[in-house]
Structure 1
């Protein structure tokens, strides 16, 4: 190979290298800034193919998608001065690439560290205004809304990032207080159980007393009705007997004597000392009940 061809080959290689280093592509999922000798020259370069001067310009690209920051569990105090351990995470993205680069030097870890400080401070302030019940109930959603609004007021202007969402993954009691809290909860549940049992016994006594009263009322009413019916029956029986006696007094006397004989001699060992001429044996001597004349 001649010296001229070698020079042309070297020149071509240098041209290709310069051309390769002069062109760059910004993707739709990226945000980019151009530095000129380390100074910010262009901010928020549009997606597409662009040109730069090698050794003079440097392009820094950042992820423009929504990123997730998983915070470390932190200890907070509620308005009741109860300690809780909170594990949270945040969703964020770059909003102003110029502010983002100047405040964090384009370092994602630094941005998340600054964001973690603000989230920690915001959660501490929000939990300090609410009780434990409000924190673990429906108040948590409003807590997150208030926190996101306060965070964005700072991060939009100071860090150039937008906080999309902050969520609490888990709320637990610290290990040093969970034992005492568990014992207190157990004693409270036992106290409530005793109260429920006492109320149950009280209600049982009330129901039993009412049932006894109703039983006595029903029994008294039944006895009253039975006595009325029995009295009416006896009255009707007496009326029937009286009517029968009036129609045939002799037959009525005969029936009464038979009943008297039956009742008197019902027992095997029964005996009587009665004058044979007594009125009692009237129908035994004569079926017609006629007494003999002396």
Structure 2
């Protein structure tokens, strides 16, 4: 009797334990009966179900990440680009999510990925590469998120929180051609700059030489003018001196001539004794 009672108590405890389950913060639950959804419990706390007949399934309500492999798209100019992106999503309707994916996160990702890729393809096909690289990326991701969120909420019970493009790259074969073109453009620009610089240098040098010639001509003109004024002033002084004392002036001029003739100490003059040049060397002339 005691053994039977113990078995009954044990079964009662097992059935009681099987009839209870806990939903934690960040989780939601479904109660299934023979594979059919009976109810969805999303409030955290202790919940009850029929033991053995009903089963509970717990789902993570936190934000999840879909990190896809890079995908190739074509821009409006028919340029090929590789796009690496990721998606942030969470379960919004646990019942719809279960019906669409049977609760599998992998299946949810596999069904969400084509929605995002199709939306991205449409956006890239309608824009140029320059628009996508500069200001257009934010508009693209926002439009893709809105479009994908509308489709996934209806069909998968998923809210798409965010879509981000990590990078946009040109394929290797396109990158090489773009690099060659950019190199040719930069080389052409460098040649143009060198040619312009050389022309400017020639112009500056010619202008400098012209200015040097002008400065030299002006200096020679001013020097000639100064020399002329000096010679005129000297002639005037000589004339005044001659008028005041012709004999002294003649003597001074003779001394200057002697100095110029013998200043190197090697000069030889062949003159007659009564030459006028030796007038002041002649004692008789000096006595006169």
SS at match of 2:57: strand
1:135 corresponds in structure 2 to 132
1:45 corresponds in structure 2 to 42
1:111 corresponds in structure 2 to 108
Tell me which of 198, 203, 208 is aligned to 1:201: 198
Structure 1 gap ranges (5+): none
How far 1:220 sits from its partner (Å)? 3.2
| Partner Cα separation in structure 2 for residue 224 and residue 144 of structure 1 | 79
How far 1:272 sits from its partner (Å)? 4.5
TM-score under structure 1 length normalisation:
0.84
After TM superposition, the structure 1 stretch with the greater mean CA deviation from structure 2, 232-241 or 191-200, is 232-241
Preserved contact between residue 27 and residue 42 of structure 2 (Cα < 8 Å) = no
Tell me which of 141, 144, 149 is aligned to 1:152: 149
| Partner Cα separation in structure 2 for residue 149 and residue 222 of structure 1 | 83
| Partner Cα separation in structure 2 for residue 143 and residue 206 of structure 1 | 53
2:167 corresponds in structure 1 to 170
Preserved contact between residue 88 and residue 166 of structure 1 (Cα < 8 Å) = yes
| Partner Cα separation in structure 2 for residue 139 and residue 248 of structure 1 | 105
SS at match of 1:86: strand
| Partner Cα separation in structure 2 for residue 142 and residue 241 of structure 1 | 99
| Partner Cα separation in structure 2 for residue 182 and residue 285 of structure 1 | 101
Tell me which of 20, 24, 30 is aligned to 1:23: 20
Deviation per residue, 1:90-119 (Å, 9 max, x gap): 212222333333333322112212221122
How far 1:22 sits from its partner (Å)? 1.0
Preserved contact between residue 83 and residue 173 of structure 1 (Cα < 8 Å) = yes
Structure 2 gap ranges (5+): none
Tell me which of 192, 213, 219 is aligned to 2:216: 219
What is the aligned length? Answer: 288
CA-based RMSD? 2.8
